[in-house]
Copies of this chain bind each other. A is one copy, B any other.
Amino acid sequence: MVCFGFAVGEHMAEKIVLLGGNGYIGAAFQKFFKKQDIVFSSLSRKDVEYTHGDVLRDFLKTHKPSFLVNCAGYSGKPNVDACELHKAECLAANAVLPGVIRRVCEGLGLPWAHISSGCIYTGDHGCGMGFAENDAPNFSFRHNNCSFYSGTKALGEEVLDGASGCFVWRLRIPFNHEENPRNYLMKVMGYDCLLDARNSLSHLDEFVSACWQCWEKRVPFGVYNMTNPESITTREVVALVEKSAIGVSLKARGKTFRFFESEEDFMKKAAKTPRSNCVLDTRKLQSVGICMTPVRDAIERSLSQWGKCKI
Determine how close the nearest CB of chain B comes to the CB of A291; give it in whole angstroms. Answer: 34
Interface range, A side: 20 to 34
| B88 and A91 form a contact (CB under 8 A) | no
List residues of chain B with CB within 8 A of the CB of A95.
Answer: 88, 91
Among candidates B87, B97, B98, B141, residue contacting A141 with C-beta atoms closer than 8 Å: B141
Q: CA A151 – CA B88 in complex, angstroms? A: 14
| B91 and A96 form a contact (CB under 8 A) | yes
Q: CA A89 – CA B151 in complex, angstroms? A: 17
- A99 CB–B CB distance under 8 Å: yes
Among candidates B88, B99, B100, B144, residue contacting A99 with C-beta atoms closer than 8 Å: B88
| B158 and A87 form a contact (CB under 8 A) | yes
Known: A96-B96, A141-B141, A144-B142. A159 touches B91 (CB 8 A): yes
- A102 CB–B CB distance under 8 Å: yes
- A92 CB–B CB distance under 8 Å: yes
Q: CA A103 – CA B88 in complex, angstroms? A: 9
Q: CA A143 – CA B141 in complex, angstroms? A: 8
List residues of chain B with CB within 8 A of the CB of A158.
Answer: 87
Q: CA A144 – CA B137 in complex, angstroms? A: 12
List residues of chain B with CB within 8 A of the CB of A159.
Answer: 87-88, 91
Interface centre among A98, A143, A159 (most CB of B within 10 A): A159
List residues of chain B with CB within 8 A of the CB of A97.
Answer: 88
Contact with B along A114-140 (1 / 0, CB 8 A): 000000000000000000000000001
Among candidates B87, B96, B140, B151, residue contacting A92 with C-beta atoms closer than 8 Å: B96
29 pairs, CB–CB < 8 Å, chain A vs chain B: A87-B99, A87-B155, A87-B158, A87-B159, A88-B95, A88-B96, A88-B97, A88-B98, A88-B99, A88-B100, A88-B159, A89-B99, A91-B91, A91-B95, A91-B96, A91-B99, A91-B155, A91-B159, A92-B96, A96-B96, A140-B141, A141-B141, A141-B142, A141-B151, A141-B155, A142-B142, A142-B144, A143-B144, A144-B144
Nearest neighbor of A143 in chain B, beta-carbon distance = B144
List residues of chain B with CB within 8 A of the CB of A92.
Answer: 92, 96
User: 6 more A-B contacts (CB under 8 A) besides A88-B159, A91-B155, A142-B142?
Assistant: A88-B100, A88-B102, A91-B91, A141-B142, A142-B144, A143-B144
List residues of chain B with CB within 8 A of the CB of A102.
Answer: 88
For residues 65 through 88 of chain A, which have their beta carbon under 8 Å from a beta carbon of chain B? Answer: 87-88
Q: CA A89 – CA B155 in complex, angstroms? A: 13
Nearest neighbor of A141 in chain B, beta-carbon distance = B141
Q: CA A155 – CA B95 in complex, angstroms? A: 12
Nearest neighbor of A98 in chain B, beta-carbon distance = B88
